[in-house]
Structure 1
Amino acid sequence: MKQLASLFVLAAALAAPQAHGQRPDAVRGAVDAANRWLVPADAGDAAATWDQAAAAFQAGVSKADWTGALERVRQPLGAVTSRKLVSSEFKRSLPGAPDGEYVVIQYDTQFAHKAHAVETVVPMRERDGSWKVSGYFVK
């Protein structure tokens, strides 16, 4: 649970809006991965979000702990009514995370029970070159 809190703290530390990063190819791939990951999150399938997450994410939090945490955060908000990409920034270093390739993505999201929220999704490049989500936060 301590590592789960670290993932939320990491995302919270990155909550300031940013401009598009200097690696458009990486940003595009990471945004696509984030959008795919948000599909099961929006459908209430927290277990699938863990299955699709980065290896570092899975190593940091158990599937059961993540499922419970995401459900506690998302269920009270209700269904997503709109989501708009606001920013994405390529980074090689993030506080509390090993150096690598990350894209910090923020969405302006409206939920049925919350008119304005900022979702931060942080995909990272895996060893095989794919992008997978390593952090998620709703504020």
Structure 2
Amino acid sequence: MKPFAAALFSSILLTAAACSHAQDRQAIDEAKRAAEEWLALVDAGQYKASWEQAAEPLRKAVSIAQWEQGGRAARMPVGAFQERSLASSTYTTTLPGAPQGQYVVLQYTTRFADRANAVETVTPMLEADGKWRVSGYFLK
């Protein structure tokens, strides 16, 4: 009986892990779609629209004027967007300095006209309405 119980318990754990992995993968896919739609606005210099479509914590932390000014200051030195490739994606429920929630940290290797090897970190979060929206953006 004990070997059967151990095998059953192991099977349950593996099934739970597979379901969790599938849910994480779905979250990553949905967050990635939201991030890439949002990035298209930033790439086009539509900073006001990107702020309007961002997650509430980002909009509360930065005024629209600050966002537009910061966007231009960050993007002008690197030149026009040329190509972006997803380097990593991580689903998490905790981030330093952020409230408990569902987040996906996406890192892209990006080529701009004046910088060939930039790294963009985009962090969408799942908001209360069930939509993924960008809560953080960093260009290095």
Report the TM-score range of the alignment, normalised by the length of the smaller protein: 0.7 to 0.9
**Pairwise CA RMSD:** 1.1
Q: What SS does structure 2 have at the residue aligned with 1:93?
A: coil
Q: What SS does structure 2 have at the residue aligned with 1:86?
A: strand
User: What does 1:106-117 correspond to in 2, within 5 Å?
Assistant: 106-117=107-118
Task: Give the ranges of 4+ consecutive aligned residues of structure 1 lying more than 3 Å apart after TM superposition.
Answer: none
Quote the residue 1:132 is aligned against: 133
The gaps in structure 2 that reach 5 residues or longer are 1-19
Alpha-carbon separation, structure 2, partners of 1:117 and 1:61:
23
User: What does 1:1-139 correspond to in 2, within 5 Å?
Assistant: 22=21, 23-139=24-140
Q: Which has the larger radius of gyration?
A: 2
Instruction: Give 1:131 deviation, angstroms.
Output: 0.1
Instruction: Give 1:45 deviation, angstroms.
Output: 1.0
Report the number of matched residues: 119
Instruction: Give 1:66 deviation, angstroms.
Output: 0.8
Instruction: Give 1:81 deviation, angstroms.
Output: 1.3
Q: Which has the higher contact order (CA 8 A, sep 6+)?
A: 1
The gaps in structure 1 that reach 5 residues or longer are 1-20
Alpha-carbon separation, structure 2, partners of 1:27 and 1:115:
26
String of CA shifts for 1:21-59, please: whole Å, max 9, x gaps.
Answer: 940010000000000000110001111110110011111
Taking structure 2 as the reference length, the TM-score comes to 0.83
Alpha-carbon separation, structure 2, partners of 1:104 and 1:81:
22
Calculate percent identity across the aligned residue pairs.
Answer: 49
The structure in which a higher percent of residues are helix is 2
Quote the residue 1:11 is aligned against: none
Q: What SS does structure 1 have at the residue aligned with 2:88?
A: strand
